[in-house]
């Protein structure tokens, strides 16, 4: 699609790949940043809390019940109707297949009924491009995605042009936080619980491992760290509150130190390969990016490497539909519309970068992004 400078593009985005039911309207003109006209996110945390994690069947059913109302609310909040939209963008993968089906079928129905083009978006691309919506970040840059389902470092060269530089060979970082919380009897979601408990803990009491330290590739591994937490907890059980706090603080410290070493390698590689890039940047996304210790560590790391540190606001770092609508706008502007979106089937696995060699054991869980 060719866009005149003053022509406004408005896209409705829909996101249902995990446990958030979300819809959003984002607008953009060729000469300006995007503008979020509405961003409605319904979290299912309460539905899943009793189970200590996301239950796919419950998630899919909750999306069915909520999605129509959420789409309506997003259009109302933006004070627009479907007729004002230039396209409908929907997460088509990766994620939990039940939720993806609900979102994709709904988006197909809306697109068919309104005669608007349908854009099938990779959820990871949504995370990857958010910094361009919020900060107008120029290509190329590095993305660190740390969520419940993914831990990746991605080189973002352009719209649809990604190269994965690192991934986890076992658990995702958010998953490690969630499992640590479960071992310690802290409530779901584990990340915020562990961070809260860590605030009053001694970060030096337990010498947890720094997994993959020294490895050439900046890949990650967190399952050994989780096992070390389990062993420490078992060894001193029954746990007092102070023991739990100390384990959380020591775990968080191991995570921060690991990120510093692993991400540091990727920053050095970027410097090497893009020595003419005047303003190198590291963008973070995913729920774990909300962690203050993680943020502060990455911020200091970026400063020491001469990188700009870009952390979009929390509600745009975690799952939302504004990032999907924005990815749709970027694709429209780049002329990258899918060929036959009405025939597109949801993809529970959908790497951003299809050329990187898979890492053994990577993305075992792979459902969430």
For tokens 């952390």, name the residue: 311
Interface region with ligand KG4, contact rule CB under 6 A, candidates 45-53, 113-121, 147-155, 340-348: 147-155
Candidate residues 9, 12, 18, 321; the one interacting with ligand KG4 per rule CB under 6 A: 18
Nearest approach, Cβ of residue 127 and ligand KG4 (Å): 8
CB-based closest residue to ligand KG4? 191
Residues 306-335 that bind ligand KG4 (CB under 6 A): 318-319
* 167 three-class SS: coil
Residues 176-235 that bind Zn ion (CB under 5 A): none
Of 85 and 143, CB closest to ligand KG4: 143
Cβ neighbours around 275 below 10 Å, total? 8
Give the x-and-dash track for 147-186 against Zn ion (CB under 5 A): x---------------------------------------
Interface region with ligand KG4, contact rule CB under 6 A, candidates 73-81, 109-117, 161-169, 287-295: 287-295
Number of residues in contact with ligand KG4, rule: CB under 6 A? 21
Q: Is 246 in the site for ligand KG4 (CB under 6 A)?
A: no
Q: Is 125 in the site for Zn ion (CB under 5 A)?
A: no
| Beta-bridge partner residues of 41 | 22
Candidate residues 291, 350, 351, 363; the one interacting with ligand KG4 per rule CB under 6 A: 291
Residue 125 CA to residue 102 CA, distance in Å, equals: 20
Q: In the 8-state DSSP scheme, what is residue 287? A: G
Residue 116 CA to residue 98 CA, distance in Å, equals: 24
Q: Is 369 in the site for ligand KG4 (CB under 6 A)?
A: yes
3 state SS for 32-72: CCEEEEEEEEEECHHHHHCCCCCCHHHHHHHHHHHHHHHHH
Residue 194 CA to residue 181 CA, distance in Å, equals: 6
Residue 13 CA to residue 252 CA, distance in Å, equals: 34
Residues 128-147 that bind Zn ion (CB under 5 A): 147
C-beta of residue 113 within 8 angstroms of C-beta of residue 20: no
Candidate residues 15, 170, 195, 243; the one interacting with ligand KG4 per rule CB under 6 A: 195
C-beta of residue 281 within 8 angstroms of C-beta of residue 307: yes
Q: Is 15 in the site for Zn ion (CB under 5 A)?
A: no
Of 86 and 319, CB closest to Zn ion: 319
Q: Is 149 in the site for ligand KG4 (CB under 6 A)?
A: yes
Binder of residue 258, out of ligand KG4, Zn ion, none (CB less than 5 to 8 A by kind): none
Q: Is 20 in the site for Zn ion (CB under 5 A)?
A: no
Q: Where are the beta strands (DSSP E) in 238-280?
A: none
Nearest approach, Cβ of residue 177 and ligand KG4 (Å): 4
Do the strands 118-122 and 87-93 form a parallel or antiparallel pair, or are they unpaired? parallel
Candidate residues 98, 148, 312, 346; the one interacting with ligand KG4 per rule CB under 6 A: 148
Give the x-and-dash track for 173-192 against ligand KG4 (CB under 6 A): -x--xx----------xxxx
Q: Is 243 in the site for Zn ion (CB under 5 A)?
A: no
Candidate residues 175, 219, 319, 330; the one interacting with Zn ion per rule CB under 5 A: 319
Nearest approach, Cβ of residue 202 and Zn ion (Å): 33
Cβ neighbours around 95 below 10 Å, total? 30
Of 256 and 369, CB closest to Zn ion: 369
87 Cβ neighbours under 8 A, 6+ residues apart: 9, 11, 12, 111, 116, 117, 118, 119, 328, 332
Q: Where are the beta strands (DSSP E) in the chain?
A: 8-15, 20-29, 34-43, 87-93, 118-122, 141-146, 151-158, 161-166, 281-285, 308-310
Residue 211 CA to residue 285 CA, distance in Å, equals: 21
User: What does the binding site for ligand KG4 look like in residue numbers (CB under 6 A)?
Assistant: 18, 147-149, 174, 177-178, 189-192, 195, 286-288, 290-291, 318-319, 368-369
User: What does the binding site for Zn ion look like in residue numbers (CB under 5 A)?
Assistant: 147, 319, 369
């Amino acid at each position: 699609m060719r866009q005149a400078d003053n022509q406004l593009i408005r896209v409705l985005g829909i996101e249902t790949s995990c446990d958030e039911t979300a819809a959003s309207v984002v607008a953009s003109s060729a000469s300006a940043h995007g503008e979020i006209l509405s961003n409605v996110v319904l979290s299912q945390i309460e539905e899943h809390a009793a189970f200590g994690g996301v239950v796919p069947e419950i998630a899919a059913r909750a999306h069915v019940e909520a999605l129509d109302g959420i789409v309506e609310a997003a259009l109302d909040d933006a004070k627009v109707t479907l007729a004002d939209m230039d396209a409908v963008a929907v997460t088509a993968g990766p994620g939990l297949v039940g939720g993806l089906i609900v979102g994709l079928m709904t988006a197909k129905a809306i697109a068919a009924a309104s005669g608007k083009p349908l854009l099938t978006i990779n959820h990871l691309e949504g995370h990857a491009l958010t910094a361009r919506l919020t900060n107008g970040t120029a290509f190329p840059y590095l993305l660190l995605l740390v969520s419940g389902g993914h831990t990746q470092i991605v080189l973002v060269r352009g719209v649809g042009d990604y190269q994965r530089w690192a991934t986890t060979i076992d658990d995702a970082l958010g998953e490690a936080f969630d499992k640590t919380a479960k071992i310690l009897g802290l409530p779901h979601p584990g990340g915020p619980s562990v961070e809260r408990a860590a605030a009053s803990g001694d970060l030096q009491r337990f010498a947890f491992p720094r997994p993959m330290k020294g490895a050439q590739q900046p890949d990650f591994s967190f399952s050994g760290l989780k096992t070390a937490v389990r062993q420490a907890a078992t060894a001193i059980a029954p746990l007092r509150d102070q023991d739990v706090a100390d384990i959380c603080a020591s775990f968080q410290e191991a995570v921060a130190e690991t990120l510093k070493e692993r991400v540091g390698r990727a920053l050095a590689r970027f410097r090497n390969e893009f020595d003419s890039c005047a303003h190198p940047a590291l963008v973070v996304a995913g729920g774990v990016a909300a962690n203050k210790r993680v943020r502060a560590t990455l911020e200091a790391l970026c400063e020491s490497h001469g990188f700009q540190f870009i952390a979009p606001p929390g509600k745009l770092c975690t799952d939302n539909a504004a990032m999907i609508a924005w990815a749709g706008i970027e694709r429209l502007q780049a002329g990258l519309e899918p060929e036959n979106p009405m025939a597109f089937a949801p993809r529970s696995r959908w790497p951003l970068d299809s050329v990187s060699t898979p890492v053994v054991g990577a993305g075992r869980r792979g459902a969430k992004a």
